[in-house]
Structure 1
Amino acid sequence: MGSATALVTLYFLLPLNHSSTWPAVTMLVIGLVAFIGLVASQVRSIIRSPFPGLRAVEALATSVPLFLLLFASTYVVMAAMSAGDFGGSLTHTDGLYFAVTVFSTVGFGDITAKSEAARLVVTGQMIADLVVLGLAIKIIIGAVSRHRQPGGASGQAPEGIYR
C-alpha cells in the first residue's frame, strides 16, 4: 500500500504539463519496460514467499497503480502539448480519471481522445489493459499456484514423493 501511495504522490507532484513530445514518449516506453520488470520480479518474489497469496495481492497493489499512472501521465502531457488531443487541457486528476475510465472500460465520454495521436495512445492502453488483466494476473496467480504445489517454492518434492 505504501508503494501505491508513493506512486500517486509522485504523480501529483510531477510538473507534467511542462513536458514535450519526446520526453513523454520516452517516459511511457521506459515506464512500461519498468512495469514488465516489476511484474517479473514480483513473480519471482511470489514463488519464493512463504505467503504467496499475500505477496500476490501486494504485487497487484503496486503494479496496477504504476501501469495506470504511466498512461495518466502521458495523457496529461499530451493534453498540455496540444489542446486538441483531448478537447482541452487535463489536470493530474483528469488524466488519472481518464486512465482509470479506459482501464475499467466504463467510458463515460466526458473526456475523449480527439486527435489521431491521442487515439493511438488510448488504443495502446486498451490493448495493454487486456494484456495486464489477462496475462499479468494469470502469471501472478500461476506463481501462487506453483508455490502451493508439492515441493513448494524450492521445486523439490517432499520426502517420499517422486515426480
Structure 2
Amino acid sequence: MAAASVRTAASVALLVTGYYLAPLEGRPDTVAWPWFGLALALLGVVVVRQIVAVARSGRPRLRAMEALGVIVPLLLVVFAATYTLISGADPDAFTEPVGRTDALYFTMTVFATVGFGDIAAVAEPARIVVTIQMIVGLILVGVVAKVIVGAVDVATRRHPT
C-alpha cells in the first residue's frame, strides 16, 4: 500500500510540476486546439492502460485507487493547461485574465461542479472547452469509475484471495 501511495503522490507531483514548468504563455490561439485534442487522446490512452492494469492486478482494489489517483489529476492538468493557453491567446476569454493557478482553480470548480462565479468563460472557444470538461468529468465519474469497478471484479475473480 505504501508503494502505491508513493507512486500516486509522485505522479501527481510530476503532473503539477510539469504543468507549472510547461511553456504555455505567449502561444497563439492556434496552439490551444491541437494541444487540447492531443491531450484528450493521451488522457484516453492513460485511462485504457489504467483499466487494463487494474484488471490484471493481483491487488485490484489498491490498483484501482492508484489508477484514479493518476487519471483525475491528469484530467485536471489537461484542462488547466488548455485554459491557460486560451487565456494567454485571448485575455478576454474569461471574466478576468487566467494564469496557471487561476486556471487550475477554475478547472477544479468546474470539475467539482461548485462554480464560485468569480471566474467564468465568456468567449465561445473557452465555453466550448468548459462544456467538454463538464462532459468528460461526468464520463469520468460515471462511466470510468464503473469500468474500473468492473476491472476490479474481473481481477478479483482471476486472483481470488
* TM-score, normalised via structure 2 length: 0.90
Q: In 2, are the aligned partners of 1:7 and 1:65 still within 8 Å (CA)?
A: yes
5 Å-filtered alignment, 1:7-86, equals: 7-86=15-94
Q: CA deviation at 1:148?
A: 1.4
What is the DSSP-based 3-state SS (H/G/I as helix, E as strand, rest coil) of the residue aligned with 1:114?
coil
**1:118 and 2:130 matched:** no
What is the DSSP-based 3-state SS (H/G/I as helix, E as strand, rest coil) of the residue aligned with 1:90?
coil
Q: Measure, in 1, the Cα distance between the counterparts of 2:89 and 2:29.
A: 7
Show the counterpart of 2:13: 5
Consecutive unaligned residues in structure 2, runs of 5 or more = 1-8
Q: Measure, in 2, the Cα distance between the counterparts of 1:98 and 1:11.
A: 15
Match of 1:99 among 98, 107, 111: 107
**1:144 and 2:159 matched:** no
Q: CA deviation at 1:88?
A: 2.8
Q: CA deviation at 1:14?
A: 1.3
Q: In 1, are the aligned partners of 2:29 and 2:90 still within 8 Å (CA)?
A: no
Does 18-27 or 133-142 show the bigger shift? 18-27
Q: CA deviation at 1:12?
A: 0.6
Show the counterpart of 1:87: 95
What is the DSSP-based 3-state SS (H/G/I as helix, E as strand, rest coil) of the residue aligned with 2:70?
helix
Q: CA deviation at 1:15?
A: 2.4
* Identity rate, percent: 41
Aligned-residue CA RMSD (Å): 1.4
Q: CA deviation at 1:108?
A: 0.2
Q: Measure, in 2, the Cα distance between the counterparts of 1:44 and 1:94.
A: 34
Q: Measure, in 2, the Cα distance between the counterparts of 1:22 and 1:59.
A: 32
Over alpha carbons, which structure has the higher Rg?
A: 1
Give per-residue Cα distances to partners, 1:98-134, cap 9 Å, x unaligned.
Answer: 0010000000000001111111111111111111111
Give per-residue Cα distances to partners, 1:19-45, cap 9 Å, x unaligned.
Answer: 122221111111111111111111111
